[in-house]
Amino acid sequence: MTLLTVENLSVAYGDMLAVHDVSFAFDIGEVFVLLGANGAGKTSILRCISGLVPARSGDVAFAGRSLKGKRPHEVARAGIAHVPEGRRVFPNLSVEENLIVSFIRNRSKDTLAVALDAVYQFFPRLRERRRQLGGTLSGGEQQMLAIGRGLMTNPDCLIMDEPSEGLAPIVIQGLWQAIATLKREGLSILLVEQNAALALKLVDFVHVISKGRVVYSAPPGDLWANDEIKSRYLGI
């Protein structure tokens, strides 16, 4: 069953068109990735889905309902959690306070305490750091916290923008194991990632974005076998 549909989406900042007529869709339980170089338009697509920037044209539908004109908190209440590039945790709030302010009560069948415990079981390091200010965490811990905040909304779809950016290889490995666990649990995930070799191990389908347009779409095995696309658009 289709969960998210992006149809003929264009996004502009003033006179600059960042996304040109992009379309894609993915199903419940899938992990879908947008690959491409810096400035390709990937983040703009995610920001538009989440209501952070408006679409110039086209539409985004989630679970069969249009998100056009929805504000970020309305998109979150609809079931989409956005883990932004650069983590963006609240630096002057503790780990636990960061998680508490992300809880959406009317989306959860559980209490706040149960939701917190679920995140702490998923990321035990956050339990250890729960009284520590978000701004004092390491990059890897902040990424755990950013994902944990998304999980506190009890999402149907988790959007992650460059989750491995700036992290040490050992930390990335642990993070990818966590994402793989979420996939096994049936959570639908939309990724933006520059590390194609890493992303292709996990995802079900790939769109390659260049200059705001979709230039290639395929299952990960087909992309990995296509040396021309890898060299031209992904630098591998």
pLDDT tens for 93-125 read 999 999 999 998 888 788 999 999 999 999 999
Across 28-71, the runs of DSSP E, i.e. the strands, are 31-35, 57-62, 65-66
- Has residue 176 got a pLDDT over 80? yes
pLDDT of residue 108: 78
Residues in the chain: 236
pLDDT of residue 20: 93
- Has residue 230 got a pLDDT over 90? no
- Cα(32)–Cα(176) distance, integer angstroms: 14
Mean pLDDT of 27-48: 92
Half-sphere exposure (Cβ direction) of 102: Cα atoms closer than 13 Å: 29
H or E element, residue 81:
strand 80-83
pLDDT of residue 146: 94
- Buried residues in 7-28 as b, exposed as e (16+ CB within 10 A): eebbbbeeeebbbbebebebee
- Cα(132)–Cα(67) distance, integer angstroms: 36
pTM of the entire structure? 0.91
Residue 87 or 148, more confident: 148
pLDDT of residue 107: 82
- Has residue 51 got a pLDDT over 90? yes
**CA of 214: how far to CAs of 55, 156, 202, 233, in Å?**
17, 25, 20, 11
Q: What is the pLDDT of residues 69-79, one digit of tens each?
A: 899 999 999 99
Which residue, among 205, 214, 209, has the nearest Cα to 23 in the 3D structure? 214
Mean pLDDT of 77-90: 90
